Structure 1
């Protein structure tokens, strides 16, 4: 994000909602992320991605990844702190005729929201980890371990790789994810990936299984 959008997030109590109110959401491309499609449909690891159960996309925005992951066997939950984003996601769900059994959107806090029975067999985190303040990353890791049961899978699209100190989005590295996830997850994959053009070379895809 540019300095203006970063300023809104820092100075407004409802900063993310304010960005949606102003229609400033460069992270939301309106289509599923290419790296997610690639890991689900093309990479050999696809056979280890859960085909059934609950799915979560934190920081879901208007829900393109939620719509992609939800199907007759997997119910995908989209979670966002912005009511405006969730309202737009729900409207798109109606327009796409996607049943509630496949997709549900929640306005809530990732760290405290009520977990559905059985937890989440699959979680996809792309624009959430990099959006939260780095001092919340230990809590992020604990929460992931709490809501993903044994053998569940976490897909993280590591973005933006770098060492800048401002944000959001805050810089990440492969080592950052390893330091927070290795205690409770086995790493199944860290690899280069197909990206949106503006993000090419700034991200890697990774897959983790809950121990």
Structure 2
């Protein structure tokens, strides 16, 4: 059976509290990465944001120019409840692949692995389209064999290098040393810069 990973699928997962990917707070690798960013004016996107605990952290640290996009409405409502002062216009319910904006930084946290693997090339080209010159994608990619069972769908270092290297400079792609417990030894931290 082929899953339709559409708006209804994701909305149902939230409504039924089937959100095993949701760590309940920002994960350590992204927190540590954000902590070393000095420029609080960066325009940042969190795609497939879900409950976007990264947004909570960024907003609490003074980052104002943060946008999130998700197909499902429920997680965006959750974000607004937790952050009543956050601009509602920066919470976008929609399809990442239809977004027409430009960003300095895109944070990846369980979005790539939630997409059907046949969309991976589209993901890479859309990321490049959304980023300003020298813009970066940073975050986490899973390190376990790609299977048909998912989401999440896995991948390997070799596959990621092959997929991203034509359009992005690979600044970092290494096993995350500070993963949260359930994901230890199962994810890479990466920083890719648009060529």
TM-score normalised per structure 1: 0.82
Give the distance between the partners of 1:8 and 1:90, measured in 2 at CA: 33
Structure 1: gaps of 5 or more residues: 1-6
Corresponding position: 1:135 with 2:135: no
Whole-angstrom CA distance in 2 between matches of 1:37 and 1:12: 29
Deviation at 1:156, TM superposition (A): 3.2
What does residue 180 of structure 2 align with? Answer: 196
Match of 2:28 among 28, 31, 34: 34
How many residues get paired?
Answer: 193
Residues 66, 187 of structure 1: alpha-carbon distance in 2 compared, 3 angstrom cutoff: same
Are 2:92 and 1:87 equivalent residues in the alignment? no
Residue 123 of structure 1 and its aligned partner are, at CA, apart by 0.3
Per-residue deviation at 1:181? 1.4
Once the two structures are TM-superposed, the CA of residue 167 in structure 1 deviates from its matched residue by 1.0
Pair 1:111-2:97 in alignment = yes
* Superposition deviation, residue 38 in structure 1: 2.3
TM-score calculated relative to the size of structure 2? 0.88
Please report how far the alpha carbon of residue 87 of structure 1 lies from its aligned counterpart in structure 2 after TM superposition: 1.1
Aligned partners of 2:143 and 2:157 also within 8 Å: no
User: 1:89-126 CA distances to partner (integer Å, 9 max, x unpaired)?
Assistant: 111111xxx4429x9211110000232xxx11000112
Counterparts in 2 of 1:68-79, with a 5 A limit?
A: 68-70=57-59, 71-79=61-69
Hey, what's the Cα distance between the residues in 2 that align with 1:26 and 1:63?
14
Q: CA, structure 1 residues 174+156, in 2 after alignment: closer, same or farther (shift >3 Å)?
A: farther
1:184 match: 167
Report what 1:206 is aligned to: 190
Q: 2:148 & 2:2 partners in 1: Cα distance? A: 17
Distance in structure 1 (CA, Å) of the matches to 2:188 and 2:5 = 31
Q: Distance between the aligned counterparts of 1:99 and 1:73, measured in 2?
A: 11
Structure 2 residues without counterparts, runs of 5 or longer? none
